[in-house]
Structure 1
Amino acid sequence: MLGQDPDAAQELMHSWAAQLSTRAQAAAELSDRVATIASSAVGANGAVRVTVGASGALTDLRLDDRVQRIPGAELAITIMAAIARAQAGLTEQVSIAVHDTVGTDSETGRAITDTFARRFPKPADEQPDRSERDARDGW
């Protein structure tokens, strides 16, 4: 029994301490990686490009001159759909960071991945871009 052997107890304590230190380092690395994650997506055949940061907030929006031919309401839908796709990309990147640091089977890894998956799900039924509809409809 462990209580009978002080050397075994001390060795066990050192082992636990080393495991905790390793886990803490992995969690800190995951935190650093997640903080720097960004994801981009395009719409309207590249006329719209959005980038979101790790929080999911829009950090960059680029529109080229082709957007002038897209009605305002449709442009808004295209931009919002691109933002949703970019946010869903965060979940994929976080999953990779979790795998590389704390592991996907760890409680921490599952919690982080699940949180991002709930916050930023893949868009279920996206509206096709105007350019995609136009090409399909023969415009």
Structure 2
Amino acid sequence: MWADEAALDATQRRLDEWESTLADRARRAQSLATRVAALNGTAHSPDHTVEVTVDSAGRLVDLRLDDRVRQHSAAHTARLIVATTRTAYADLLRRVTVTTRETVGADDPTGQAVVDSYRRRLGDERSDPDADR
């Protein structure tokens, strides 16, 4: 009978460890979600006439134009805004990647899914299977 009790104890310890591991992963995932939600990405155009900030969802939340944009055509300024927004997206992706590694680790499947999701949503060419064409 003792062998059955020992097996039962060992099984209980494994279940306790599994439960603890799941609880720890849930805490880290919640921490990641909270930290990522607070992130933003910011970029300046090469000539510093345009500054763009996007929030954690990739939405434009701030756009600053230096008075020097008046020296350029509207089309030129529009191109600068679009290009600078893409750079702000890249900054956001970089911040999400760093935060994910710090919070859950680079090899964590949840973390990888979060970073991959941002790559797809923000148009990072590494997530596009046709990008090498």
TM over 0.5, yes or no? yes
Alignment of 1:37-116 (within 5 A): 37-116=39-118
Contact 1:94 1:113 in 2 (8 A): yes
Distance, in Å, in 2 between the alignment partners of 1:2 and 1:49 is: 68
Aligned residues: 124
Contact 2:42 2:92 in 1 (8 A): no
Question: Which of 9, 31, 45 is the aligned partner of 1:7?
Answer: 9
Task: Say which SS state the counterpart of residue 5 (structure 1) adopts.
Answer: helix
Task: Say which SS state the counterpart of residue 76 (structure 1) adopts.
Answer: helix
RMSD: 2.1
Shift of 1:102: 1.5
Contact 1:3 1:9 in 2 (8 A): no
TM-score normalised by length of structure 2: 0.85
TM-score normalised by length of structure 1: 0.82
Unpaired runs of 5+ in structure 1? 125-139
Shift of 1:97: 1.1
Shift of 1:103: 1.5
User: How high is the sequence identity, in percent, across the aligned residues?
Assistant: 36
Deviations 1:41-96 (CA, angstroms, capped at 9, x unpaired): 11151111110001111000111110110100110010011001101111111111
Question: Which of 21, 45, 53 is the aligned partner of 2:23?
Answer: 21
Shift of 1:2: 8.8
Distance, in Å, in 2 between the alignment partners of 1:92 and 1:65 is: 30
Query: For the structure 1 residues 86 and 4, does the alpha-carbon distance in structure 2 shift closer, same or farther, using more than 3 Å as the test?
Result: same
Shift of 1:122: 4.8
Question: Which of 109, 118, 122 is the aligned partner of 1:120?
Answer: 122
Contact 1:52 1:59 in 2 (8 A): yes
Distance, in Å, in 2 between the alignment partners of 1:14 and 1:46 is: 56
Contact 1:51 1:83 in 2 (8 A): yes
Distance, in Å, in 1 between the alignment partners of 2:44 and 2:98 is: 22
Task: Say which SS state the counterpart of residue 46 (structure 1) adopts.
Answer: coil
Contact 1:50 1:58 in 2 (8 A): yes
